[in-house]
Amino acid sequence: MDDSRPGMAADSERWRVLSLLCLAVVLSLTTWFSATAILPELKQELAIGSGAEAWLTNGVQVGFVIGALAASLVNLPDLVRLSRLMAAAAFVAALANASLLFHPDPGGAIAARIVTGAALAGVYPPALKLVATWFTRDRGLALGAVIGALTIGSALPHLFRAALSALDWRPVVAAASLATAIGALLFLQFAREGPYPFGKAVFEPSRIGQVFREKPLLLANLGYLGHMWELYAMWAWLLAYTRAAFEAQAVGTTAAASLSTFFIIASGILGCLLGGYLSDRIGRTATTAGMMIVSGSCALLMGFLFTGPLWLFMLVAIVWGISVVGDSAQFSAAVTELADRRFVGTALSAQLGAGFALTVL
């Protein structure tokens, strides 16, 4: 099953596995922003103050950092069968997210978000490693597809909120939890390693330091930190900003703001696929630099378009949504190519843990 040679069986199989894995990632990652999508309702019902609001917004990131760094320290993604790890982690995330339905106080809600994030650290980094075992050629595009799936999954709660705007916030949480549980079943059934495994690892906690000591890996990770600083700042506050912009112009409703936020974030899948395609052909450095220039310019423009024409606001926001995530896969692809092959899962978890730690600040 060499994907570097012509062969329909090998080619069709790797794309089939990628498609199923991406579907599972989409479903599993719906829990990430499920609380952010309903934050206005939660604030009102639970009488949440500004401090608790910040924790509800950042709780998943905090949990993800804890989970990713802990997994890196014990080499978990390199020692445990990936299908079982991802399925178990997604199931825990579904349960933790569903527990929001039974915690009427801010403390319980914050704890649920932190546990959700920690569990998702067992889904996203292993998914990147698993896909890399199927692709040597077109790896940038394949990893871009996985991150595009993460993007769609992150956006889905806003679509749930728009579709269920006549109801309270609970159906949004229930829908996200159910989707994640289905994702867990898909991981268990279809997530298997490909013909290019990374080798057998042994327990070696010191390997986490490799990510920050070796210069090629260090440079890739520094670029990833800059990318994450912009990306999750955008995704976390976009609904509030869009809602305020709509209200300032007396246009639309809460449902319209949620639907617009969904389309802006979900448009990122185009950037993921385009970035992956370009990186495999013109190089990762040129692709990431181009995406960052476009997204940075759009971020600057958005501040001046708050009261501008709504069509222009949405156009720039969608271009931002496309470009802000278009470079993400290339930093992960670099890690799969530069790290010790026995500890690629550890290196990916450490990279993502450091990146998400920055988003909490």
pLDDT band at 103 (very low <50, low <70, confident <90, very high): low
Q: How far apart are CA 99 and CA 105, in angstroms?
A: 12
Determine the Cα–Cα distance for residues 312 and 236; give it in Å rounded to an integer.
Answer: 21
Is residue 135 helix, strand or coil? coil
pLDDT category at 200 given cuts 50, 70, 90 is low
Give the pLDDT mean for 42-63: 85
How confident is the model over 235-274, as pLDDT tens digits? Answer: 878 888 998 988 888 776 778 888 999 999 999 999 999 9
pLDDT tens digits for range 286-320: 999 999 999 999 999 988 998 889 899 999 999 99
What is the dihedral angle through the alpha carbons of 115, 118, 120, 125, rounded to the nearest 10 degrees? 180
Per CATH, the number for 8-360 is: 1.20.1250.20
Residue 4 is predicted with a pLDDT of 46
Give the 3-state secondary structure of residue 170: helix
Candidates 83, 93, 98; CA nearest to 118 is 93
Secondary structure (DSSP) of 183-227:
HHHHHHHH----SS--------GGGGGHHHHSHHHHHHHHHHHHH
Q: How far apart are CA 10 and CA 189, in angstroms?
A: 20
153 has a pLDDT exceeding 90: yes
Band of residue 278 on the pLDDT scale cut at 50, 70, 90: very high
Length, in residues, of the chain: 361
* Residue 264 structure tokens: 């802006």
Residue with tokens 């708050």: 306
Phi/psi at 283 (nearest 5 deg)? 110, 150
Q: Whole-number mean pLDDT of the chain?
A: 87
Nearest to 108 by CA among 45, 171, 151, 158: 45
d(CA 198, CA 343): 8
Give the C-alpha separation, 262 to 356, whole Å: 21
State both tokens at 215.
């210069």
Q: Which amino acid is at 174?
A: A
Pair of tokens at residue 220: 């890739």
Residue labelled with tokens 């520094």: 222
16 pLDDT more than 90: yes
The residue extents of the domains of the chain are 8-360
- For residue 7, the model assigns a pLDDT of 41
Give the per-residue pLDDT at 25. 97
